[in-house]
Amino acid sequence: MSFSWHIWVFDRDSRPRTPVKRRGRQVIDACRRKWKSAVVVVAIVTMCHHWTHVFDSIDGYVFLFLGNLVAILATPESAASREAEVVVVSIDDETYEPAYAARSPLDRHALHDHLQQIYEASPRLLVIDLDLSPALWLTKAASSSEDARWQQELYSLLRKYSGPDEGPVQTSELAQARRVETVLMSPFDVQDPAARAQKEEWQRKMQLKGLRFGHAKVPVEHGLVIRNYVGSGSIVGVASGAKEGDDRSKGQEDEVPKRINPRTYRREVTPVLSLGKVLKLPDVDRKKELGGKVVFFGAGYGSESDTYITPVGEIYGAEVHAAAFQSLRHPVTAGKWGSVLLELMFALAFGVVVSRCWHWYFDYRFRNHGVLAKAGLASLVGLAALLAVVFGALSVFLLRRFGWWLSPIPIGVGMVVDGFVVGSVEEATHFIEEKVEETADRSSGTWRAVRWGMLLLVVAGAVASILLGD
């Protein structure tokens, strides 16, 4: 029995102790030696993460993986999804080819008829993720042409439902029941000055009639979309303001993209409805699906190059905006101070585990027990992997339960360097000093002061990065 305890404990003096007390003393000693290292690692990682963004690329892919896991765990039952506030209606391939003749810009006649049926379902807010500005080829066509006429009919429909009533005066109740707040995508930029001026004039006139506009840009980072614009000029920010009945956007004033909350999207957004399915529904059922809800209407056709890889799967632009819209209500927060505290606890625990495993290795290495020494290395790798899984599970729990993103990558990188590079040398030195029972002071007072100064400096830098970083 005594032999097994020496795997973990090397007596620093000859006084008899119980195995539990000896192990406890060793753990306390390891904590006392490792806490400074843990603080330094967390401080340096925090500065790198918030100031240099050196971990952004790998952090994005980790958020993608864990976000999809959270989305799967948060997927509602079909019955519960009907109570969702946001609905995405997508023009799928089956509708795009026969109804729109698979051409771009979309056929204005078909678009007029389909939007009219959506308006008649009385949604609370309609966000159209399509460029409905005057098509360039139609501007050169005769004003009496069929396509040009239906383009004007489409604009009249938009003004009819989203702006002041045209035609006969109606009662305020009827006007209020018919009015649907509408947000349109800002026109795509064009190179021709005359065409650009025409589109800008069209947008200005439509805004005077009560329609709102916002850009539909989607930020792609390292091939992924884990954030979206929610500022006052974006389609998401404008839609948020329209929902609240405010002329100003309720979105963030800046244009820094914010993370998509996978839990919120899966729980509060109805699974995508194809336009073909919506059109086939009886009026009563269509109103049940869309009535009183926020409807995002956009394209869901085309190749995989038209989709985005996101924390909620591979989706089209309208779904990305719907996810960002709901994420405004339940944003993903960094939890900076809480993250630092949890990372510090994890770093200390990791440091203690690594310290004891290296102690095991050197103890049996110096005693020429090769097999047991290799077992120490194996336990080091195994326990490190176990702690990584635990930290990843904690990240999933916090994101799913509180919308709090605790990235496991920065602290993981820091602890690998500290535990497997610096930690091995430090523990070997400490072990040898224990073995020869060195009692001399290993550092002068000046060197101790320098080390404390460096510790305070990196901690101050970490605090500044949290307060001043994005």
Residue 224: strand pairing partners: 221
Kindly report the average pLDDT of the chain as a whole number.
75
Both tokens assigned to 35: 């806490």
pLDDT computed for residue 345 by the predictor? 73
Tell me, yes or no, whether 29 lies in a domain.
yes
pLDDT of residue 185: 94
Better-predicted residue by pLDDT, 313 or 55: 313
Its domain, for residue 31, covers 2-54+334-468
- Summarised one tens digit per residue, pLDDT across range 22-73 is 556 666 666 666 666 667 776 777 677 667 777 778 888 889 998 888 888 8
Q: How many domains are there within the chain?
A: 2
Q: Average the pLDDT over each of 16-20, 400-404, 439-443 and give the range with the smallest value.
A: 439-443
DSSP state of 130: S
Q: Which of 197-211, 326-340, 349-363, 366-380 has the highest mean pLDDT?
A: 197-211
The residues near 253 (Cβ < 8 Å, ≥ 6 apart) are: 231, 232
429 and 320 belong to one structural domain: no
Residues 431 and 297 placed together within one structural domain of the fold: no
| Same domain? 128 vs 217 | yes
Rounded Cα gap, residues 343 and 42, in angstroms: 7
Question: Half-sphere exposure (CA, 13 Å, Cβ side) for 325?
Answer: 32
Q: Is residue 71 in some structural domain? A: no
Is residue 218 within 8 A of residue 320, CB to CB? The reply is yes
Q: In whole angstroms, what is the distance from residue 123 CA to residue 294 CA? A: 6
Alpha carbons within 13 A on the beta-carbon side of 224: 21
pLDDT of residue 211: 92
Tens digit of pLDDT for each residue in 99-111?
888 887 888 899 9
Task: Give Cα 32 distance to the centre of its chain.
Answer: 37
Proportion of the chain above pLDDT 70, given as a percent: 62
Of 85-89, 222-226, 388-392, 449-453, which range is least confident?
A: 449-453
Domain termination residue (choose one: 329, 357, 373): 329
Note whether 318 and 340 are same-domain residues.
no
Which of 65 and 469 is assigned the larger pLDDT?
A: 65
State how far the Cα of 216 lies from the Cα of 88, in Å rounded to an integer. Answer: 15
pLDDT surpasses 50 at 14: no
Question: Cα(453)–Cα(456) distance, rounded to whole angstroms?
Answer: 5
Of 277, 305, 329, the last residue of a domain is 329
Residue 125, both tokens: 């807010």
* 150 in a structural domain: yes
Domain assignment present for 391:
yes
Mean pLDDT on 299-309: 81
Of 241-250, 282-291, 420-429, the poorest mean pLDDT is in 420-429
Average pLDDT (321-329) is 90
Per-residue pLDDT tens for 153-195?
999 999 998 865 444 444 444 444 478 999 999 998 888 888 8
pLDDT of residue 461: 55
pLDDT digits (tens, 9 = 90+) for 115-137: 999 999 999 999 999 999 987 76
295 plus 427 within the same structural domain: no
pTM of the model: 0.75
Mean pLDDT value of segment 225-245:
89
Strands (E), 7-74: none
367 and 311 in one domain?
A: no
Residue that wins the pLDDT comparison between 30 and 237: 237
For residue 176, the model assigns a pLDDT of 47
| CA atoms lying within 13 Å on the CB side of residue 245 | 3
